[in-house]
């Protein structure tokens, strides 16, 4: 049995749009305008070879960080923060060019930094749809597996066919739709209240695993297939970076964890790995037994 300690719903958005309108006479004009906008989104982000329209936000991730609530367990039972041994590759990693990192942008939780201590990390990737005759689900799967292979150079990862036992589960689905933002001004245009465009979302959950009573965590990633293969690869690379512990964003467009999409998506950079290593050098409550 797993005893949930808390559920942290940390949303990592990238391209998707929710529109909620009531067709009253007062909104007919807005409805027509928004339909045109929706068509532009479809043409701009789904057609092969198209780049995102310049006049629309293409933020790769817009995150709202929060801390864990451990009220379900007395504080005296929580393990004290401690440092785990570094994974072999990170222990040997040296950046001879000294390109720096963005560790100061990483947000620890009340449980500490979101590091893995048991390897290999088990990753479930939703398999292709056997009934799909377009090849889109196969292309999605191949792009996600490529992103996984890129990160597996730095941390031990393995693909598991069982989502129930996976540490990270990646699903071929758009993130859940979000409601309109609250109205903040009397005559605020409806377009200003639309949620940010998204194509992926990463969530994590902290729980106590039995029978060892280890404070543990796991991730769920929703990754939309309605993108070009290159965007799916870039998105998967970015989201896996979060799920491996980089719970924050780089300010530089040359890093895989840059906060915004760019025309030519970068590979995993030295700065990404420098940041990852520093994260794994930090104390955490995760991976330790409750007292």
Q: Other C-beta atoms within 10 Å of 189: how many? A: 10
Distance CA 176, CA 20 (A): 14
- Residue ranges of the chain with per-residue pLDDT less than 50: 1-71
Assess contact for 2 and 207: CB atoms under 8 A. Answer: yes
Q: Provide the pLDDT for residue 171.
A: 98
* Torsion sign across C-alpha atoms 112, 116, 118, 124: positive
Domains of the chain, first to last: 2-18+58-178+194-280 (3.40.390.10)
Instruction: Give the model confidence (pLDDT) of 116-135 as tens digits.
Output: 999 999 999 999 999 999 99
Q: Provide the pLDDT for residue 185.
A: 79
User: What are the two backbone dihedrals, phi and then psi, of residue 8, each rounded to the nearest 5 degrees?
Assistant: -105, 115
| CA nearest to 198, candidates 168, 172, 167, 222 | 222
First to last CA, the chain: 18
Q: In what order do the strands lie in the sheet with 121-125?
A: 2-8, 200-209, 214-223, 168-172, 121-125, 157-159
User: What are the two backbone dihedrals, phi and then psi, of residue 265, each rounded to the nearest 5 degrees?
Assistant: -65, 130
Residue corresponding to tokens 């999409």: 261
Look up residue 163 and give its two tokens: 């989502």
Distance CA 169, CA 158 (A): 12
Segment holding 38, helix H or strand E: helix 28-46
- Our CA angle for 232, 219, 243, nearest 5°, is 60
Q: Provide the pLDDT for residue 195.
A: 63
Q: Provide the pLDDT for residue 16.
A: 34
Q: Provide the pLDDT for residue 122.
A: 99
Instruction: Quote the crossing angle between the two packed helices 229-243 and 136-152, to the nearest 10°.
Output: 40
Distance CA 148, CA 152 (A): 6
Distance CA 112, CA 67 (A): 10
Three-class SS of residue 192?
helix
> Any idea how long the chain is?
291
Q: Provide the pLDDT for residue 182.
A: 78
Instruction: Give the model confidence (pLDDT) of 224-271 as tens digits.
Output: 999 999 999 999 999 999 999 999 999 999 999 998 888 889 999 999
Three-class SS of residue 171?
strand
Q: Which residues on neighbouring strands pair with residue 290, listed in sequence order?
A: none
Distance CA 172, CA 164 (A): 16
Segment holding 122, helix H or strand E: strand 121-125
Q: What share of the chain is helix, strand, coil (3-state, %, to 5)?
A: 30, 15, 55
């Amino acid at each position: 049995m797993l005893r949930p300690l808390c559920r942290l719903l940390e949303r990592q958005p990238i391209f998707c749009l929710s529109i909620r309108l009531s067709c009253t006479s007062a909104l007919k004009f807005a409805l027509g305008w928004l339909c045109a906008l929706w068509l532009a989104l479809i043409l701009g982000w789904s057609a092969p070879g198209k780049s995102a329209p310049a006049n629309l936000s293409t933020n790769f991730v817009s995150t709202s960080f929060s801390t864990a609530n451990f009220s379900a367990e007395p504080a005296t039972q929580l393990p004290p923060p401690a440092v785990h041994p570094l994974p072999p590759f990170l222990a040997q990693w040296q950046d001879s060019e000294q390109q720096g990192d963005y560790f100061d942008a990483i947000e620890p939780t009340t449980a500490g930094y979101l590091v893995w201590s048991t390897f290999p990390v088990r990753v479930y990737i939703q398999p292709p749809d056997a009934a799909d005759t377009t090849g889109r689900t196969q292309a999605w799967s191949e792009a996600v597996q490529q992103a996984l292979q890129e990160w597996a150079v730095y941390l031990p990862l393995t693909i598991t066919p069982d989502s129930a036992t996976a540490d990270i589960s990646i699903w071929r689905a758009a993130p859940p739709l979000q409601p309109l933002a609250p109205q903040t001004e009397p005559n605020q245009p409806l377009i200003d209240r639309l949620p940010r465009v998204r194509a992926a979302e990463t969530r994590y959950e902290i729980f106590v695993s039995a029978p060892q009573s280890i404070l543990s965590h796991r991730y769920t990633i929703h990754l939309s297939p309605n993108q070009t293969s290159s965007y799916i690869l870039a998105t998967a690379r970015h989201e896996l970076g979060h799920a491996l512990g980089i719970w924050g964003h780089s300010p530089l467009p040359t890093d895989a964890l840059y906060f915004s999409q760019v025309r030519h998506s970068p590979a995993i950079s030295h700065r990404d790995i420098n940041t990852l290593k520093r994260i794994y050098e930090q104390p955490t409550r995760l991976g330790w037994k409750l007292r």
